[in-house]
A and B are shown apart, each in its own frame.
Chain A
Amino acid sequence: MAVVRQTDAEPGAPIRLEGVCPVEDAETLAALILDDPNAPVNWTACTRMHTAVYQVLLRMRPTVLGPCGDPFVDAWLTPLGPE
């Protein structure tokens, strides 16, 4: 599991993507963002992102924090943020 959020997080606390984020993470991430639409997503520690995970970010447009740790996404698929 590479989507991390503290269980007792305050509303607005960042959601962290860590390491390799496989396809299953898409649903978890979507649920977390739906839960707290204002929470930013910190993707600096994500080393490789599956398309489905990227699609969630593209669809829901949370604020993303920092450069993406996945070099491919960082090079080609940013900026990404609220519309």
Chain B
Amino acid sequence: MKELLEQFLIETRELVQSAAEDLLALEASPGDVEAVNRVFRAFHTLKGSVGLFDYPPWFALLHAAEDGLSAARTGTVPADANLIDVSLETLDATARWADSIEKTGQLPGGATAEAGALAERYRHLLTPGPKARGADAAVLPGWALQLVDASADFGGKPSTAVRYRPRDDCFFTGDDPLGLVRKVPGLLAVSVAPAAPWRSGEEFDAFACNLDITLLTAAPREEAEAVFRLVGDQVTVVDMPGGTRAAMAEPAVTPASGAVAAAILAEQVRVLAAMNGSDTDAGRLEASARAAANALLSVGQDGDARRCERMLGRGSDALREVIESVLAGGPMGPSPTEASEPTEQSQPLGGDAVRTLRVDAARLDALLALIGELVIARNAFGHLTTRAEAGESAGTLIRAIREADTNIGRLSITLHRSVMSLRLTPLSQVFRRFARLVREAARALGKNVVLHIEGEDTEADRGIVESLFEPLLHVVRNALDHGLEDAATRRRGGKPEAGHIRIEASQDGDSVVVTVSDDGRGIDPAFLRRRAVERGLRSTEAVAAMDDDAVTDLIFAPGFSTAEVIGALSGRGVGMDAVRAAAERMGGRVSVESRIGRGTVVRLHLPRTIALTRVMVVRASGESYGVAMDAIVEVVRKPRAGIHAVAGGNATVLRDQTVPVVRLVDLLGHEGVSLATQEALLLIVRAAEGTIALEVDRFEERIDAIIRPPSGLVRSVLGVAGTTLLGDGRVLLVLDPASILASAPSVGRQTWEGR
């Protein structure tokens, strides 16, 4: 649990950082669609990770932020200063809360009110017009408010609400959940309900616990937590601010529900009242219950939504009462007591988290030995200088220098490898987080899912492991949400009722392969073809010409979401393109394989370490550029006569294959003079859509380099994979041919269609 939290905090800070940068970039260049997308993705991921833990106000805030940004993506609301301001403040709050959780394990006092206020600002952006009342709403979960309703002794004093969901198998491990509840001092109310609806028709397993226990106590939080400390993972504790019940139930103000949800609820009350208690019209009753429940779900009041659904069988009056109670007793504004609480958040919190690394002593010893060798190798140069001064002939000196250089080269590579091995971390760190995630998501979706994890001992660089969670999360969510069918469909298809998701890792040479497979419905290429045309991503002819594998690969295209309905977990159109982007950022790639009815396999090939990259240095229009060797298929010289002008560009024939030829200078947008050389120098590179020939002026050298990711000014330049230093001290821009081609559609498209 602790490790999980640490990971979460690290990741949260990174996401806050990158989202803040992107927001600032957006401020600098309004209307930057890609920046909006990046900000949205960061919030989407933040929301997902916060959802793993139980911080309801925080989650509700990020949910509201996501809605706001989602509207900005689609252009429904402008991505203007208002949105940027509130988003930056949300990020500030998020960073502060992460610090507080690191120090104290909980959100700071006042966080609930702050989250409510910020969330309301997002909602306000979405609903222009008359300002909703009660703008400073705090969000308390529905179950906690129900307890207040149920408690006869709730005297308006601050109290603590606890929700305890014992694990299914808790009886086997000797737990007596109610036994713990008995020990809670100062009980005000207890409620026990089934955690999931009882499944009728199935044999009742008396030893499987399916209970959702909620309680309200006058005891302070610490005392309540102490009772449940052994089952802390199954418990949510919420501080209930004081205030009279009347104050909580300020009529007709449902700030957390938002104006829309409140209107929907009020409408249901009207409809139900018109039914006058007659339960004859079951259809209308059901429609009302469903509408109310959906409205409540949409604003995160899941407990109340369930309450509405339960009332379905009890007639229109019962349902109306519930809706009215939700409308009246909805989440409240910050009460005087809470406002007067000492504001912990003003204290300096957090500070720089210490990043430590545990290292095997033997590995350090090996490093020390290498450094020793390096010092000796360097001494050889001193000796060589003396020999040169003594007037030794250049010929013998050159041989000696080359020898010393080789020696140092060998040592530096070994040293690099050893240091990299210090950073190796097992993937179990990431995989472990999925157990809980899959379990909870499966429960939320009402699916029965078995998760298998294999190869979690496989090691990869810390940086890779830390960046792996986000893309993996998207893939697993997709498998859960869209891949696996519900139990009934599976039964009809002759499959076992429980869906299987398998996360595997293995080492393959210098790379790590992470595979996520499910035995769900698979991806239907015909559906993808239709969708690609609908979304305007490809033309009808183009998709008809593509084979099924290429079509399946389209799920990684930006703006391509196959979800019919926006699910709670995924399906907002982010995800798979973010996965590909993340994999490529890490220097890896992702592929998908799918069979209808059999399931889907997504493979992430990632580098095991941040390795030395071999870079080819080329010259184009007087400048040197690097291109990573692994992007280069081959290097050819072609007589000019072999390059033909075709519709929209040039092409040449290479081993019986037509390859488009693009001049690097054109791609970079330089004014290049065409060289009247007899031969064209071509770099054959792999790009997203196939192979392409890049024409350059000259090949220079091949070097081993550690490519630094672009930062600062260079970051905003498209098509730059990073920078490295040349031996003479010059900075070399290392290009990423695939992204240059993608960002130069005119060149890319015409050559492709001319193929």
**With contacts A58-B192, A77-B192 known, is A26 near B187, CB below 8 A?**
no
**With contacts A59-B204, A72-B178 known, is A52 near B209, CB below 8 A?**
yes
Name the one of B187, B190, B192, B206 contacting A52, with C-beta atoms under 8 angstroms: B206
User: Are B182 and A51 in touch, CB under 8 angstroms?
Assistant: no
Q: Which residues of A contact B206 (CB under 8 A)?
A: 26-27, 29-30, 52, 55-56
**With contacts A51-B178, A76-B190, A77-B192 known, is A59 near B198, CB below 8 A?**
yes
> Which positions 146-172 of chain B face chain A at CB distance < 8 Å?
166, 171
CB distance from B196 to the nearest CB of A (A): 12
Question: In the complex, what distance in Å separates the CA atom of A60 from the CA atom of B206?
Answer: 11
Q: Which residues of A contact B171 (CB under 8 A)?
A: 23, 26, 51-52
**With contacts A58-B194, A59-B198 known, is A51 near B207, CB below 8 A?**
no
User: Are B198 and A26 in touch, CB under 8 angstroms?
Assistant: no
Residue of A at shortest CB range from B166? A51
**With contacts A23-B171, A23-B176, A77-B190 known, is A72 near B182, CB below 8 A?**
yes
Q: Which residues of A contact B182 (CB under 8 A)?
A: 72
User: Are A54 and B194 in touch, CB under 8 angstroms?
Assistant: no
User: Are A52 and B204 in touch, CB under 8 angstroms?
Assistant: no
Q: Which residues of B contact A27 (CB under 8 A)?
A: 206-207
Question: In the complex, what distance in Å separates the CA atom of A72 from the CA atom of B178?
Answer: 9
A45-74 CB contact bits vs B (8 Å, 1 = yes)? 000011110111011100000000000110
> Which positions 1-57 of chain A face chain B at CB distance < 8 Å?
23, 26-27, 29-30, 34, 49-52, 54-56
Question: In the complex, what distance in Å separates the CA atom of A30 from the CA atom of B202?
Answer: 14
CB distance from A83 to the nearest CB of B (A): 9
Question: In the complex, what distance in Å separates the CA atom of A54 from the CA atom of B166?
Answer: 14
User: Are A30 and B176 in touch, CB under 8 angstroms?
Assistant: no
CB distance from B170 to the nearest CB of A (A): 8
Q: Which residues of B contact A58 (CB under 8 A)?
A: 192, 194, 211
Question: In the complex, what distance in Å separates the CA atom of A58 from the CA atom of B198?
Answer: 10
Q: Which residues of A contact B669 (CB under 8 A)?
A: none
B165-204 CB contact bits vs A (8 Å, 1 = yes)? 0100001000111110110000101101010001000001
Q: Which residues of B contact A72 (CB under 8 A)?
A: 178, 181-182
Q: Which residues of B contact A50 (CB under 8 A)?
A: 176, 178-179
B210 at the interface (CB under 8 A from A): yes
> Which positions 429-478 of chain B face chain A at CB distance < 8 Å?
none
User: Are B192 and A54 in touch, CB under 8 angstroms?
Assistant: yes
Question: In the complex, what distance in Å separates the CA atom of A29 from the CA atom of B204?
Answer: 12
User: Are B209 and A51 in touch, CB under 8 angstroms?
Assistant: yes
Number of B residues near A (Cβ < 8 Å) is: 21
Question: In the complex, what distance in Å separates the CA atom of A73 from the CA atom of B171?
Answer: 18
Q: Which residues of A contact B192 (CB under 8 A)?
A: 54, 58, 77
Q: Which residues of B contact A56 (CB under 8 A)?
A: 204, 206
> Which positions 196-237 of chain B face chain A at CB distance < 8 Å?
198, 204, 206-207, 209-211
Q: Which residues of A contact B166 (CB under 8 A)?
A: 51
Q: Which residues of A contact B198 (CB under 8 A)?
A: 59
Residue of B at shortest CB range from A55? B211
Q: Which residues of B contact A51 (CB under 8 A)?
A: 166, 171, 175-179, 209, 211
Question: In the complex, what distance in Å separates the CA atom of A34 from the CA atom of B206?
Answer: 12
Question: In the complex, what distance in Å separates the CA atom of A83 from the CA atom of B178?
Answer: 22
Residue of B at shortest CB range from A23? B171
User: Are B207 and A59 in touch, CB under 8 angstroms?
Assistant: no
Residue of B at shortest CB range from A34? B204
Residue of A at shortest CB range from B189? A76
CB distance from B187 to the nearest CB of A (A): 7
CB distance from B608 to the nearest CB of A (A): 48
Question: In the complex, what distance in Å separates the CA atom of A27 from the CA atom of B172?
Answer: 13
CB distance from B726 to the nearest CB of A (A): 71
User: Are A60 and B209 in touch, CB under 8 angstroms?
Assistant: no
Name the one of B187, B190, B204 contacting A30, with C-beta atoms under 8 angstroms: B204
Q: Which residues of A contact B190 (CB under 8 A)?
A: 76-77
CB distance from B147 to the nearest CB of A (A): 12
Q: Which residues of A contact B207 (CB under 8 A)?
A: 23, 26-27, 52
Question: In the complex, what distance in Å separates the CA atom of A55 from the CA atom of B194?
Answer: 8
Q: Which residues of A contact B176 (CB under 8 A)?
A: 23, 50-51
B17-59 CB contact bits vs A (8 Å, 1 = yes)? 0000000000000000000000000000000000000000000
> Which positions 567-591 of chain B face chain A at CB distance < 8 Å?
none
Question: In the complex, what distance in Å separates the CA atom of A50 from the CA atom of B209?
Answer: 12
Interface centre among A30, A55, A56 (most CB of B within 10 A): A55
Q: Which residues of B contact A76 (CB under 8 A)?
A: 181, 187, 189-190
Question: In the complex, what distance in Å separates the CA atom of A76 from the CA atom of B217?
Answer: 12
Q: Which residues of B contact A54 (CB under 8 A)?
A: 178, 192
Residue of B at shortest CB range from A27? B206
Q: Which residues of B contact A23 (CB under 8 A)?
A: 171, 176, 207
CB distance from B194 to the nearest CB of A (A): 7
Question: In the complex, what distance in Å separates the CA atom of A54 from the CA atom of B192?
Answer: 10
Residue of A at shortest CB range from B187? A76
**With contacts A23-B171, A51-B171, A51-B176 known, is A59 near B187, CB below 8 A?**
no
Residue of B at shortest CB range from A28? B206
Q: Which residues of A contact B209 (CB under 8 A)?
A: 51-52, 55
User: Are B210 and A55 in touch, CB under 8 angstroms?
Assistant: yes
Q: Which residues of A contact B204 (CB under 8 A)?
A: 30, 34, 56, 59-60
Q: Which residues of B contact A59 (CB under 8 A)?
A: 194, 198, 204
Q: Which residues of A contact B177 (CB under 8 A)?
A: 51
Question: In the complex, what distance in Å separates the CA atom of A71 from the CA atom of B131?
Answer: 51
Q: Which residues of A contact B181 (CB under 8 A)?
A: 72, 76
Q: Which residues of B contact A34 (CB under 8 A)?
A: 204
Question: In the complex, what distance in Å separates the CA atom of A30 from the CA atom of B190?
Answer: 24
CB distance from B178 to the nearest CB of A (A): 4
Question: In the complex, what distance in Å separates the CA atom of A48 from the CA atom of B625?
Answer: 79
Q: Which residues of A contact B210 (CB under 8 A)?
A: 55
Q: Which A residues are closer than 8 A to B by beta carbons?
A: 23, 26-27, 29-30, 34, 49-52, 54-56, 58-60, 72-73, 76-77
New A-B contacts (8) at CB < 8 Å, excluding given A29-B206, A58-B192 = A23-B171, A27-B207, A52-B171, A52-B206, A55-B210, A56-B206, A58-B194, A76-B187
Q: Which B residues are closer than 8 A to A by beta carbons?
A: 166, 171, 175-179, 181-182, 187, 189-190, 192, 194, 198, 204, 206-207, 209-211
The 9 closest A-B pairs by CB, nearest first: A76-B190, A26-B206, A51-B178, A30-B206, A27-B206, A51-B177, A72-B182, A52-B171, A51-B176
Would you give 21 A-B contacts (Cβ < 8 Å), ordered by A? A26-B171, A27-B206, A30-B204, A49-B178, A50-B178, A51-B176, A51-B177, A51-B179, A52-B171, A52-B207, A52-B209, A55-B206, A55-B211, A56-B204, A58-B211, A59-B204, A72-B181, A73-B178, A76-B187, A77-B190, A77-B192
